[in-house]
Structure 1
Amino acid sequence: MPKRHVVKLSEEECHALEQICKTGRIAAQKRRHAQILLLVDQGEHGPSMTDAEVAERMELTTRCIAKTRQRCVEEGLELALQRKRRSRERTARLDGDAEARLVSLACSDAPEGQVRWTLKLLSERLIELEIVESVAYETVRQVLKKHHKTLAETHVVHSA
């Protein structure tokens, strides 16, 4: 079956990739991608190895080889050598107002029957008060860690 993304490197590109492979202080991922592209090169000077051969030689998966080839063809040589940017966008669960309410809640007296606030109790109370729709106790921990100076003197929050 013919490859969908055929890598054909010029002599200058081959030389640049070889320099990357020989350089001592370079990111391992960048060196690995340069080696992959040199091995799958189907140009005049390339060895034209198959994905399976390259994967076996470099101890990688064929999927990694195919994705590197595809990225080189579609996005260019420079982008194929760099790490791919994360595509997932995350929005903060707690905005500034919600964080302030969480800190004031943590500084208040513990609920009846409890000696002190726990992360789970705080996250449940935020949901009860309809400050947020849902929140993990890890998010609560991170916010309280950010505001540790406010909470450090009274030791109000404990994980257990």
Structure 2
Amino acid sequence: MEMVLDVYKRPFDPRNPVVCMDESPKQLIAETRIPIPCSTGKPEKYDYEYKRNGMCNIFLACEPLTGKRMVKITERKTKRDWAYFLEEIEVQHENADKITLVMDNLNTHIPGSLYETFPPPKAKALWDRFEFVYTPKHGSWLNMAEIELNVLTGQCLKRRMDNIEFVRKEVLAWQNYRNNKNSKVKWQFTTDDARIKLSRLYPTIED
């Protein structure tokens, strides 16, 4: 936890950007009856019944100090999907010396995923471009990308969306809107706060 909080204290450095990454599933849901649009004095009406059209996955990477984020919608969240998303993050920061990537301990978030996706020289070159910083187990709330995912859900995805192409279109519009506003996460939780508010997590040392 303190390692992650120390990363968040770093000043902005374009040669060593801090990027937070997270992912989340999205259920694809279709209407079974045509909704009745809203009219003067009357709200929109839709039936409680719906049809399940499968799932898709949302990858999100954000750079807290610049207010930029990148979202990719995939059909699955396999090791290869994560590796290809990592490649896109690297392209976005091609002028950086090293990219610090904050993420959780999911079993796909490992260097081995790169070797299962790319030839060894490319996998090693991509691995060397990153410094992986993992949030602790049961501590995914320390990842600022999770906050961005919550904003994405509240502003864009909290409705019935029946196919992956529609999700991609709407998420791209949201991404451009947030990036144009340079919307940032105001992170205020520090190591000193952690040692006070989460004192139960620290061992007790007796004299």
Which has more radius of gyration? Answer: 1
- Common topology (TM > 0.5): no
Determine which structure has the larger strand proportion and give its number. 2
Q: With structure 2 as the length reference, what TM-score do the two structures score?
A: 0.17
Higher relative contact order structure (alpha carbons within 8 Å, sequence separation ≥ 6):
2
Determine which structure has the larger helix proportion and give its number. 1
